[in-house]
Chain A
Amino acid sequence: MKTEYSIITENLTKKFDDFTAVDGINLKIRKGQIYGLLGPNGAGKSTTIRMICGVLTPTKGKGEVLGLDLYSQAEDIRQNIGYMSQRFSLYEDLTVLENLSFYASIYSLTRGEKKERIAELIKMAGLEGKEKRLAGQLSGGWKQRLALGCALIHKPKLLILDEPTAGVDPVSRRIFWELIYQLANQGITILVTTHYMDEAESCDEVSFIFKGKILAKGTPEELIESKNANNLEDVFISYVEEQTGQKVKTSFNDMRFICNRKEGRKK
């Protein structure tokens, strides 16, 4: 059991006063998987992730991360996971090198390890020649890869990414996902939230979260098949429609007419 799964949660729940942000979520994430949490804004994706990282205390439920208990072994969990929050939490007034070296020291890397690891990560993120730049002066894609570097500095076994590609251009998004695949191939488990469906289809397994509950889970192929749909987006929309009893009018195909009108205007 312990060797097979990186994350197990049972009935994980978080309430903020009267509002239930996460309502009894059960997850089983295998080692070495890329696992996607999908759902609209405010569905409870980030809250779930924050509980798994130990940033928030769950109101109810059990959890094990890397075989460690979510409540009693939170500090041990922290030493072994890498986390990248929604807004790349970098020190903008520190340089690329200073940011990396700060986190390296926080994770108590030795001088030798630190030097080697920083060189590796700068190469991985393609930040060569930008070491002395302030993090705040980097563009979105570079910032994102630097934040990833900071999260990986201590060679974590589990990497947790909260909307890592929000506000990043398509080219940088692609480079980023290539990095994610490389990491997964090295045996690192990756838990990622997203609302880009192409990213979701790249995951080994996904869960749809809506209003704090998991509506469906499985591999992207299974889900598409079960709903007899063309892609994950249609699956996603059909689940939301089932729940709310309302038709979501602006699916991607329905929105094509906007493009047609644009072309019409050009002529």
Chain B
Amino acid sequence: MSFGRLITIVKKEFIHIKRDKSSLGIAIMMPLVFILIFGYAVNTDVEHIKMAILDQDKTLESRELIQKFASSNYFQPKIYVDNISEIERLLDKGNVKTGLIIPPNFSKDFKRGKSPMVQLIVDGTDPTIARTALQSGVLTGKMYSIKKHESIANKKGNILQGIQEIDVRTRVWYNPNLESNKFTIPGLIGLIMQNVTVMLTAFALVREKERGTIEQLIVTPIRSVELIIGKMIPYIVIGSVDFLIALFLGTYWFNVPIRGNILLLILLGFGFVICALAIGMLISTVASNQLQAMQMTIMIILPSVLLSGFIFPRESMPLIIQKAGYLIPLTYFLEILRGIILKGIGIDYLLKEIIILIIMGTLLLTIASIRFKKKLD
């Protein structure tokens, strides 16, 4: 391998990037735009679910219950209606996601020591919202009911003979407030890096094929390895810059602090960029024009969004789909990102992921170099 020829390719590639304002724009703007859009849009924290209320009791107690729902922050009592069909209409139209029906004898039942009944209707089209509404709805009802029974009993001078329940004290680690941003942002950093680098490198070699310049290169003494590595270096630089931009935005804009060692994170990020670049290179040795390269890039990006565990937990996927996720480098890098950023764990816990990523990167690069044989046929 000649170092001089390698540097020549690197220089030429930098000139291409410098002159092609649109891909330079994509390289820099993509991490910015993606992290802002995804950072706000991929938010599974459900709050302020709109609620219609049919209060047939209209007593202090019924108003107290509604107040409890409102102050839970999960619900937003929005519209008060007079009959059930009105609730149905609002749910159909999508104006509200839940309906609460309080029957006429609600407060009387309390006073008689009976358990009063209310009905919570939930729009189940979006399971995430529905699940939150069901859980917090049931919980709100129970809490109010216990409090109410206690206070009624106290007034009467009795001690409430409640059922002795197990007292489960919960503590949530790493993300105590269960903010979905803390889960999404580290994943997003990995996804953005993958997308930008795969896409840019996929085009790098295909462009030479499309313009016919590859033919001229083949008749020169340049070697495939020099050409491939030389083409990759500029994109390693760009990928690393994108990684730092995404990391910076995640930390300071979305307040997801890095608990672990930032140097280790940057080092591994650099390693992942090489892996993603190798995928891009492989695409560009297979594709014969830019359109094909684009289609193949999408074929890689889309499954990696779904299967890597970026949004959906891999634990809940069928076994085959889970296994397919193991073939995607991003899967391992997400483990690394979340491990270091959220849990603050060190290299000793991530060895498996790191080794697999190194193997995958080497394998992909080797295949790309072999496939690019310096021949047209």
Binding site for B on A (CB under 8 A): 16, 50, 53-57, 75, 78-79, 81, 83, 85-87, 89-94, 98, 102-103, 105-108, 150
Contacts and interface: CB of A to CB of B under 8 A. Distances in A.
List of 4 A-B pairs having minimum Cβ-Cβ separation, nearest first: A89-B216, A105-B8, A83-B219, A93-B19
Nearest to A108: B4
B199 to A, nearest CB: 19
A54 B12 CA distance: 24
Interface string B351-377: 000000000000000000000000111
A62 B306 CA distance: 53
Contact of B12 (A50, A55, A102): A102
Q: Main SS of chain B's interface residues?
A: helix
Interface of B: 2, 4-5, 7-8, 11-12, 15-16, 19-20, 211-222, 375-377
Contacts of B5: 105-106, 108
Given A79-B221, A105-B4, A85 B12 contact: no
Contacts of A89: 211-216
Contacts of A79: 221
Nearest to B20: A93
A83 B216 contact: yes
A162 to B, nearest CB: 9
A108 B222 CA distance: 10
A4 to B, nearest CB: 24
B8 A87 contact: no
Contact of A78 (B16, B212, B215, B219): B219
Contacts of A56: 375-377
B219 A92 contact: no
Contact of A102 (B8, B212, B214): B8
B8 A106 contact: yes
A185 B195 CA distance: 55
Given A55-B376, A102-B8, A102-B12, A107 B218 contact: no
Contacts of A150: 216
18 contacts: A16-B377, A50-B215, A50-B376, A78-B220, A79-B221, A87-B212, A89-B213, A89-B214, A91-B16, A92-B211, A93-B15, A93-B19, A94-B12, A102-B8, A102-B12, A105-B8, A106-B8, A106-B217
B377 A53 contact: no
A93 B221 contact: no
Given A93-B15, A98-B15, A103 B220 contact: yes
A87 B375 CA distance: 18
Contacts of A55: 215, 218-219, 375-376
Contacts of A108: 2, 4-5, 221
A86 B220 CA distance: 16
Contacts of A16: 377
A106 B7 CA distance: 10
Contacts of A98: 12, 15
Given A105-B5, A106-B8, 10 more contacts: A54-B375, A55-B215, A55-B219, A78-B220, A78-B221, A91-B12, A92-B211, A94-B15, A102-B12, A106-B5
Contact of A85 (B11, B16, B20, B216): B216
Given A94-B12, A106-B5, A108-B5, A81 B219 contact: yes
Nearest to A109: B4
Contacts of A54: 218-219, 375
Nearest to B227: A106
A122 to B, nearest CB: 19
Given A85-B212, A87-B212, A93-B16, A106 B222 contact: yes
Contacts of A86: 212
B213 A91 contact: yes
Task: Please indicate which of the listed interface residues A55, A56, A92 has the most CB atoms of chain B within 10 Å of its own CB.
Answer: A55
A194 to B, nearest CB: 18
Contacts of B221: 75, 78-79, 106-108
Contacts of A107: 220-221
Contacts of B212: 85-87, 89
